[in-house]
């Protein structure tokens, strides 16, 4: 398992768990914390001034840690290691990489291919594919492991995919994957990632891979973005994400050939981790028996309000309004 701390932001942070950092002294404290807690990477956010962004990159690299944020420019000139999302929250008007429907231009693509920065897609729009592919929603693992309220939310996304929102999502998806494919084929560096839990845990990664293949990636290219590429970004090439002598022998055995059918990547029949062999049945067994009791106890969903329900502060503002996908202009 890999982890990091709260994203380092400038003034007026949007997410309440981010670190408001206004000076070099504060930044130094944050980076000391990253070192003491041994972060695997550092994430900065959109209101951190460029001067502090440059300093954060230098300090992270001095510690041997990669750093990622939401910008390709000027990040590409500052030595940033990666960018999250094809295009998301951005406070620099000149740094947008795509429009609302995911369409990108050659100048943005060339910055990725020339700089070597990674790009993590987080294809929320892949939920538009639920209109034609509900296999992961109906999968036994999803039905057993998702809490009832999360499963209902997932069903709601599938219903949306069959309507006007689904049409928009699929148009966005085509544009976004076209951008990724141009970066990939131009020698760039794509890393699969989903922004979970803002997107659906576990199933969203497979939907991202299926979306990439549906719009031009070969299955091998798509699988590489979820295996070898992340290992390389974390400095673990040859140890993770590959089957080779000297690498960790943590394996997933599937039914079918994911190199010809990407959906086979989700058809897991055996998991080998740390020398122990598991099957889906053995992994699901502890969760299946009490399922009916848990479901019966849930009578509705609970939307946290920080002003009167402080115990659930972490639910806000993500669940209140996912700005990446529910902007009024898409309504």
pLDDT in tens, 31-80: 999 999 999 999 999 999 999 999 999 999 999 999 999 999 999 999 99
3-state SS, one letter per residue, for the chain: CCCCCCCEECCCCCCCCCEECCCHHHHHHHHHHHHHCCCCCEEECCCCCHHHHHHHHHHHHHCCCCEEECCCCCHHHHCCCEEECCCCCCCCHHHCCCCCCCCCCHHHHHHHHHHCCEEECCCHHHHHHHHCCCHHHHCHHHHHHCCHHHHHHHHHHHHHHCCHHHHHHHHHHHHHHHHHHHHHHCCCEECCCCCCCCCCCCHHHHHHHHHHHHCCCCHHHHHHHHCHHHHHHCCCECCECCCCCCCCCCEEEECCCCCCCHHHHHCEEEEEECCEEECHHHHHHHHHCCHHHHHHHCCCCCCCCCCCCHHHHHHCCCCCCCCCCCCHHHC
> At residue 249, does pLDDT exceed 70?
yes
For 266, the token pair is 């989700």
pLDDT, tens digit (0-9, with 9 covering 90-100), for 265-288:
999 999 999 889 999 999 999 998
pLDDT, tens digit (0-9, with 9 covering 90-100), for 82-127:
999 998 888 887 888 998 888 999 999 999 999 999 999 999 999 9
User: For 191-217, what is the mean pLDDT?
Assistant: 94
> Long-range CB contacts (< 8 A, 24+ apart) of 282-285?
284/140, 284/141, 284/144, 284/145
Q: Which residue has the tokens 């974390």?
A: 234
> Pairing mode, if any, of strands 268-273 and 251-254?
antiparallel
User: For 204-222, what is the mean pLDDT?
Assistant: 98
CA distance readout (Å), 45 to 9, 21, 69, 124, 204: 5, 10, 6, 19, 23
Question: What is the predicted pLDDT for the residue at 90?
Answer: 85
Which range is least confidently modeled, 22-31, 42-51, 120-129, 314-323?
Answer: 314-323
Question: What is the predicted pLDDT for the residue at 14?
Answer: 77
- Sequence ranges of the domains in the chain: 70-247
CA angle 34, 193, 151 (to 5 degrees): 110
Largest CA distance in the chain: 56
């Amino acid at each position: 398992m890999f982890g990091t701390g709260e994203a380092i932001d400038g003034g007026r942070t949007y997410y309440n768990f981010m670190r408001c950092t206004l000076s070099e002294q504060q930044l130094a404290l944050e980076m000391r914390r990253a070192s003491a807690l041994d972060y695997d990477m550092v994430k900065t956010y959109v209101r951190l001034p460029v001067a502090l962004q440059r300093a954060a990159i230098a300090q992270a690299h001095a510690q041997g840690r990669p750093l990622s944020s939401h910008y390709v420019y000027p990040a590409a000139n500052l030595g940033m290691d990666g960018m999250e999302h094809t295009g998301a929250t951005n406070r620099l008007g000149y740094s947008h990489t795509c429009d609302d429907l995911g369409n990108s231009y050659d100048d943005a693509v060339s910055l990725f291919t020339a700089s070597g920065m990674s790009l993590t897609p987080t294809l929320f729009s892949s939920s538009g594919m639920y209109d034609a592919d509900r296999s992961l929603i109906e999968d036994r693992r999803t039905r057993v492991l998702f809490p009832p309220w999360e499963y209902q939310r997932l069903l709601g996304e599938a219903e949306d995919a069959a309507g006007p929102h689904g049409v928009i999502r699929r148009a966005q998806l085509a544009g976004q994957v076209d951008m990724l494919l141009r970066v990939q084929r131009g020698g760039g560096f794509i890393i699969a990632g989903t922004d979970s839990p803002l997107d659906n845990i576990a199933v969203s990664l497979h939907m991202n891979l299926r979306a990439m293949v549906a719009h031009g990636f070969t299955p091998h290219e798509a699988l590489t973005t979820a295996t070898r590429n992340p290992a390389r970004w974390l400095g673990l090439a040859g140890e993770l994400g590959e089957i080779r002598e000297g690498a960790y022998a943590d394996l997933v055995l599937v039914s079918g050939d994911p190199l010809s059918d990407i959906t086979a990547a989700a058809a897991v029949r055996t998991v080998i981790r740390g020398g122990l062999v598991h099957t889906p049945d053995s992994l699901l067994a502890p969760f299946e028996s009490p399922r009916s009791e848990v479901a019966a106890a849930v009578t509705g969903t609970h939307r946290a309000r920080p002003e009167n329900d402080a115990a659930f502060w972490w639910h806000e503002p993500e669940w209140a309004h996912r700005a990446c996908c529910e902007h009024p202009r898409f309504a």
